[in-house]
Amino acid sequence: MSNPVWQSLAGQHAVIEQLTAPQTIMAPTHAWLFTGPPGSGRTVAARAFAQTLQCEQSDPAARGCGQCQACVTIAAGTHADVNIVTTEKVSYAIEDVRDLVATAHDRPSTGRWRIIIIEDADRMTERATNVLLKAIEEPPERTMWMLSAPSPADVLVTIRSRTRHINLVIPAVEDVAQLLTERDGIDPQLAQVCARASQSHVGVARWLARSPDARERRDMIVHLPLTIRSASAAVEAAENLHKLVQAEAEASSSDRNAAERASLLRSLGLSEDETIPPKLRVHIRRMEDNQTARNRRAIHDALDRAMIDLSGMYRDLLLVHVSPQTALINEHLRTKVVEYAQTVTAEHCLNALEAITQARRRLAGNVPPLLALEAMLLAFIPRTRRHAPL
């Protein structure tokens, strides 16, 4: 039975065993690379490991208690010696990495280690990574780096060669559902549906389970392949999908943007309806630029999530053709999936999956989203149809 701080890491028993081994806790490596698919718990694992290393329990086997001051403050993101760094921009700014390197030279003030956790290290440019590399090659005493990325190939080979690799796997649907039920109090049946629909992405599963609106939007997206029969329908669906993801991104960021603006105005000694003096406008512009970049990222992430959900639907359609008894991602829609599968070929499903992959490449290459969606959805029109059995 793992200690409390590890109980939010679903389906990663081998990783937990490795990171809680006495020799690892007592003599840890100075640099770590946590990799795994999105939603597998890379940052959760890094944070739990930091809690285990800093825990105030004297017995190594009891560390990670979740109750001491160190464990509680690390979970809250307020521990003086543990920095958890993330970015909502396309890439880390080189200035931010230089600041981290400077922080790494500070001795721990209360804990055993100075620990710096960098989420999405794959978003570092080569220049920023080279700044970090020297700090990892010649680490200050009592400083530890923990980097997170989807795969080892997403970081420079020079970083990979100087870090200890921890690989997380896609957790089982049952493990994710159990976590949602035990940790978040979600109804077991709903937890199972959301765990399967999210394709075992813990964060997305929790979001779906807690938000009926999110579940409704997802169902609207995965129903698209079942409704497109003509070019005009495809174009209309592309426009609706574009509006849907924009609304989702706006809903997730509007409150935060408003709160940030209000907080900045207060710090500048201004009220909401007061004219901003010219010498203070630079602060407002900087905030607005950051919000614009974050909103753009939110739209990109919402589009990418929609592509994953559409891929899941076509994967289900292929499974109905080749392995009808296998559990579907959209098991709660099995009747509709089976009915539609009787009208299209497996080849059509493969072509649709290729169109989704191509759309993701185009979006990554800054093709206007609406154009990429139209081209993708036009490929969803069945070109050849199977005849449903009599």
pLDDT in tens, 348-388: 999 999 999 999 999 888 899 999 999 999 999 997 655 44
User: What pLDDT does 237 receive?
Assistant: 94
Who has greater pLDDT, 313 or 253? Answer: 313
Q: How confident is the model at residue 73 (pLDDT cuts 50, 70, 90)?
A: very high
CA 218, distance to chain mean position in Å, is: 17
Looking at beta carbons, which pairs linking 160-163 to residues 24 or more positions away fall under 8 Å? 160/33, 162/31, 162/133, 162/136, 162/137, 163/29, 163/31, 163/32, 163/33, 163/136
Q: Count the Cβ atoms, other than its own, within 10 Å of residue 192.
A: 22
Q: What is the pLDDT of residues 172-191, one digit of tens each?
A: 999 999 999 999 999 999 99
Model pTM above 0.75: yes
Quickly state the pLDDT bin for 1 (edges 50, 70, 90): low
The C-alpha atoms of residue 48 and residue 64 are separated, in whole angstroms, by 7
Full strand arrangement of the beta sheet holding 82-85: 82-85, 114-118, 143-149, 31-35, 164-167
- Go through the chain and tell me how many residues it has: 390
- pLDDT reported for residue 57: 93
Q: What mean pLDDT comes out for the span 213-241?
A: 92
Q: CA 369, CA 196: separation in Å to the nearest integer? A: 27
Condensed to tens digits (0 to 9), the pLDDT of residues 85-114 reads 988 777 888 888 999 999 999 999 999 999
> Tell me, what amino acid is at 114?
R
Q: Which of 184-193, 213-222, 284-293 shows the highest mean pLDDT?
A: 184-193
Angle between helices 281-322 and 231-267 (to 10 degrees): 150
Q: What is the pLDDT of residue 384?
A: 60
pLDDT number for residue 202: 93
Residue 267: pLDDT above 70?
A: yes
Token readout for 88 is 């909502």
- What would the two tokens of residue 138 be? 């010649």
Burial of 250 (0-12, 13-18, 19+ CB in 10 A): middle
The beta-strand segments (E) located in 215-355 are none
State the Cα–Cα distance between residues 194 and 192, nearest whole angstrom.
6
Residue 389: what pLDDT?
A: 46
Question: Pairing between strand 164-167 and 114-118?
Answer: unpaired
Burial class (CB in 10 A: 0-12, 13-18, 19+), 246: middle
Residue 330 has pLDDT above 70, yes or no: yes
Q: In this predicted model, which residue has the larger pLDDT, 191 or 302?
A: 191
- Tokens describing residue 170: 């896609």
- Assess contact for 63 and 26: CB atoms under 8 A: no
